[in-house]
Amino acid sequence: MPKYTKKNRPPRNRTARSGADDCASIDDGVSTCSNISDATSIYDDSDACFSTTNDIILSSESLDDKLDISIEGLRNKDLKTRENSLRTLQTLFSQKYIVDLVSSRSENLIEQLINCLRKSNEIEGQLSAIVTSLFIIQLGESNDELFIKFRDVIMPILRDESKSSLLRKNYAKAIGIICFVACEDISATLELMKALEIIFSRSYLHGDGTIPILNHDLQELHTAALSSWCLLTSTMPNNITHELIRT
């Protein structure tokens, strides 16, 4: 399939970044990024261990330090330390729009998030998926190379039926958001959508018209995969959307 790109999006121009602008970006971040001010806008309340209740005091003066300490904590060999660092990052990214701080640390963050995702431990993996989604939203720019990096880590685990359905559910949500924000290649998006459909098609009626019997966690996984599929459908040109719906 030839390489196409998604329909033109509004330009994401950044204004000149003076020191005053940096401070304004941090102090006014909550109103600027209201759509991600609550992690429940991406992940539902059933992910109880990922509450973003503001136990972390977010002052402009301490954001740099909290971000650096949390990123460094992702390197720690202790699982609990990594989980706590991910929770701090979740709070930072969901409460503040700090694109300049995040961009300047993006290489380090990408490396550590990929490592955490690849480990696919239950809680760590679910937290990593949430933080990665918020990280991509913070960056807010198309980057096919970055999408591929995360896709190549997430998809093998998402396809692995030996992994827990809850873990795979969060990975299904994450890859949809990552692709929606970062991927401009329509053929890569369609490939991902096909992989997601393979997952949620397990909820289709059987050939004899009977309803498949699925436990609650599998239902949530299929719902997450379908949700990401629908999100990505919104990025398609009309002719491709019509074809997807017909098939």
Q: Which tokens in the block code for residue 101?
A: 């701080």
Q: Is 36 exposed, middle or buried (0-12, 13-18, 19+ CB in 10 A)?
A: middle
Give CA separation, 197 vs 51, 62, 182, in Å: 29, 43, 20
Count the helices and strands in the chain (H runs, E runs): 12, 0
In whole angstroms, give the CA distance from residue 157 to residue 153: 7
Check: CB of residue 159 under 8 Å from CB of residue 195.
Answer: yes
Residue 29: how many CB atoms within 10 A of its CB? Answer: 21
For tokens 């960056």, the residue is 139
DSSP code for 1: -
217: left (phi over 0), alpha (psi -120 to 50) or beta: alpha
pTM, two decimal places: 0.78
Check: CB of residue 185 under 8 Å from CB of residue 5.
Answer: yes
Check: CB of residue 136 under 8 Å from CB of residue 181.
Answer: yes
Check: CB of residue 70 under 8 Å from CB of residue 105.
Answer: no
- Nearest CA to 69 out of 94, 87, 55 is that of 87
pLDDT of residue 73: 97
pLDDT of residue 47: 52
Main-chain phi, psi angles of 5, to 5 degrees: -120, 160
Check: CB of residue 158 under 8 Å from CB of residue 171.
Answer: yes
Q: Which regions in the chain score pLDDT beneath 50? A: 1-3, 7, 10-40, 44-46, 48, 52-54
- Nearest CA to 139 out of 36, 56, 1, 28 is that of 36
CA atoms within 13 A on the CB side of 171: 34
Sign of torsion over alpha carbons 80, 49, 220, 144? negative
pLDDT of residue 15: 44
